[in-house]
Structure 1
Amino acid sequence: MSLLNANDLYQIFRKLDKNGDGFVSLAELNWPLEKIGVQLSVEELEPLVGKPSLDFNEFLFFYDSISKRSINSMSYEVQEEEEAAEESDLVKAFEVFDLNGDGFISCEELQHVLSSLGLWDENSGRDCRTMIHVYDTNLDGQLDFEEFKNMMFLAIA
């Protein structure tokens, strides 16, 4: 998925090829990079490009590889933002259950919140200790945030 078509890239290639030899040297390639704030010396640029100059086909390949990296980087950033928002929502949900703010959800806190939401019936035979025990990986009798997060992800799956 290229942001520019081959004709656009050919026009850019011709503009960069200042001496008209059919190749874009590293110095010629570095000029627009500096203009957009990428500060690299020709020596630093050469390992990235892999050779001292590029013909048009190599220039197309170079552009395509940079475009893919950029798109993948943007995709990764969007994914990180979504994960951060999801984590923030989980923190808020955890805080609803952690009534005393000690960083743990006890059996009493779980029962109180479920009762206030109308999701707990003393006659149902459910036991908060059993519910917590299922996700209590360190066996301390309460849920910390990581255990709560695992519980929520397993409940959704």
Structure 2
Amino acid sequence: MSPLSSNDLERIFEKLDKNGDGQVSLEELNWLLERIGVQFSLQELESLVGKPCLDFDEFLVFYKSISTPHSNDGTDGHGDGSAGDLHEDDDSDLVKAFNVFDMNGDGYISCQELESVLRRLGVMEENSSRDCRTMIHVYDTNLDGLLDFQEFKHMMLHSTSS
């Protein structure tokens, strides 16, 4: 169960493409990132994206690059189960994503917070809190109705591999 399906991503792309030219400019992409609480300068975003505009396929690649954990080929030589900097980077990205959803900073993602962020992304319609409760319930291992960081991490790692 992925929080953002290809249909969701297509709707987001169409909403971002304010001028309807089939391209999302850095300004349009930055508008979305600011709405979900991620701050980049246009120069930072351009160095991350590598070009001034993205078509839908490039937008999908960009989304996957920022949402998919980097694969480890098993050649890190640790042998003790630690993956060194690779997993630290992944966790750092996940912490940033978690903080976007944890709007009140209490260390948990509630149904209301999840719904609010997904609505701002244009993925969630009005009166869809049941969908958020379902998403949370699937990964809420302690059944408290909230996602802590470990539950969120499991959800994100599971959703990107399915």
Q: Which has the higher contact order (CA 8 A, sep 6+)?
A: 2
User: Structure 2-normalised TM-score?
Assistant: 0.48
User: Structure 1-normalised TM-score?
Assistant: 0.49
Please tell me whether Structure 1 or Structure 2 has the larger radius of gyration of its CA atoms. Answer: 1
